[in-house]
């Protein structure tokens, strides 16, 4: 008998024994009937004679219930989800900065030095090449600016994806990391529908405003991003909230802007200035006193712009009312 034949016979014997064991697990030892699991009572019962073969079975599933995929992901506790907002997508681990052991006791000086060396090497291994170092710096810059502007997580996630695409398309040579990161965040805010004005971005970015604008046009053109013109209505809620206006005033401001859009009054005009003027006009129409200076400070536009635009909005609203 050859060696291959002996090996094949041994494998067949193992498979036969495992099948026999599996059959015994699913067959009642009393009558040979089929076994069924009763999860409600944690028992394994014979469906023919009713013999309880196994009791107090261990439930290895979660203690919570979920009725859809979103709820299941929210309740799951198997670790943080992957995210594009980190250069390694959150898959790596980090050594904590606390110099304490698992029992909360302070480490000795020797152990602290050892942990500091381990942190240094851990940081070096997490960013092993220039691409990862680039991503780490850019995504940190995106997170910093998004926090300063109060942008939600979906905008940060979208900006991270746009920056990764720009890096893959080799758009960075000749341009600074900060400029492309700012352009990615501005484009993401426009795409998601929570835009911020150019002046607001100019206050938080670390590059010149003209450099940022050139980078934005370049990224949109090269990546073929679909960025719609900013809607003045998307600024109304934030301005009204900062000024403490009521829902009635906010609703009236949106009506003024819809009327302006129906007559193409918004074409070629700064959406931020138009939204600020609508909020100011709505405050007057609802007897909620706000000054042009207060609105201009919140919206970061001049009082002259507000005066010019709010007169145009009122004229368009009056003309629409007369027509109706």
| pLDDT score recorded for residue 219 | 94
| CA 127 from centre of chain | 23
Strand order in the sheet with 35-38: 35-38, 43-46, 52-54
| pLDDT score recorded for residue 18 | 47
| pLDDT score recorded for residue 15 | 55
| pLDDT score recorded for residue 77 | 67
| pLDDT score recorded for residue 155 | 92
Q: What does each C-alpha distance from 262 to 104, 195, 259, 315 come to in angstroms?
A: 65, 22, 5, 13
Beta-carbon contacts of residue 244 (< 8 Å; ≥ 6 apart): none
| pLDDT score recorded for residue 32 | 81
Question: Tokens at residue 173, please?
Answer: 């040579």
| pLDDT score recorded for residue 161 | 93
CA 321 – CA 46 distance, rounded (Å): 79
| pLDDT score recorded for residue 156 | 93
Q: At what angle do helices 271-285 and 247-262 cross, to 10 degrees?
A: 130
The DSSP element (H or E) to which 125 belongs, if any, is helix 109-126
- Coil, strand or helix: which one is 313? helix
From 54, 65, 55, select the one nearest 25 (Cα to Cα): 54
Q: What is the largest CA-CA distance in the chain?
A: 105
For 79-89, what is each residue's pLDDT tens digit?
A: 666 778 887 77
| pLDDT score recorded for residue 88 | 76
| pLDDT score recorded for residue 22 | 47
Strand-pairing partners, residue 100, are 106
Low-confidence spans in the chain with pLDDT less than 50: 14, 18-23, 324
CA 202 – CA 307 distance, rounded (Å): 25
* Helix count and strand count (H, E) for the chain: 13, 3
Question: Tokens at residue 251, please?
Answer: 């609703």
């Amino acid at each position: 008998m050859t060696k291959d034949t002996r090996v094949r016979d041994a494998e067949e014997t193992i498979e036969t024994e495992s099948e026999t064991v599996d059959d015994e697990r699913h067959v009642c030892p009393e009558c040979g009937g089929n076994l069924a699991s009763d999860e409600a009572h944690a028992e394994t019962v014979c469906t023919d004679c009713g013999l309880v073969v196994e009791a107090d079975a261990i439930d290895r599933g979660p203690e919570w219930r979920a009725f859809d995929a979103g709820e299941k992901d929210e309740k799951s506790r198997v670790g943080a989800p992957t995210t594009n907002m980190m250069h390694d997508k959150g898959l790596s681990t980090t050594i904590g900065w606390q110099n304490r052991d698992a029992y909360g006791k302070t480490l000795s000086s020797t152990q602290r030095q050892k942990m500091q060396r381990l942190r240094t090497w851990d940081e070096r291994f997490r960013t092993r090449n220039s691409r990862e170092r680039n991503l780490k710096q850019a995504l940190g810059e995106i997170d910093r600016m998004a926090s300063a502007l109060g942008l939600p997580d979906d905008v940060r996630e979208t900006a991270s994806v746009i920056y990764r695409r720009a890096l893959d398309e080799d758009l960075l040579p000749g341009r600074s990391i900060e400029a492309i990161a700012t352009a990615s965040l501005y484009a993401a805010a426009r795409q998601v529908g929570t835009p911020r004005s150019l002046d607001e971005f100019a206050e938080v970015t670390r590059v010149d405003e003209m450099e940022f604008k050139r980078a934005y046009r370049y990224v949109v053109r090269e990546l073929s991003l679909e960025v719609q013109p900013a809607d003045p209505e998307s600024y109304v809620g934030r301005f009204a909230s900062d000024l403490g206006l009521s829902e009635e005033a906010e609703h009236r401001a949106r009506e003024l802007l819809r009327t302006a859009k129906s007559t193409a009054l918004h074409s070629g005009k700064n959406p931020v200035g138009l939204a600020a003027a609508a909020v100011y006009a709505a405050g007057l129409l609802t007897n909620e006193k706000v000054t042009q200076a207060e609105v201009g400070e919140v919206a970061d536009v001049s009082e002259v712009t507000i005066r010019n635009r709010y007169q145009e909005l009122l004229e368009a609203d009056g003309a629409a009312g007369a027509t109706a």
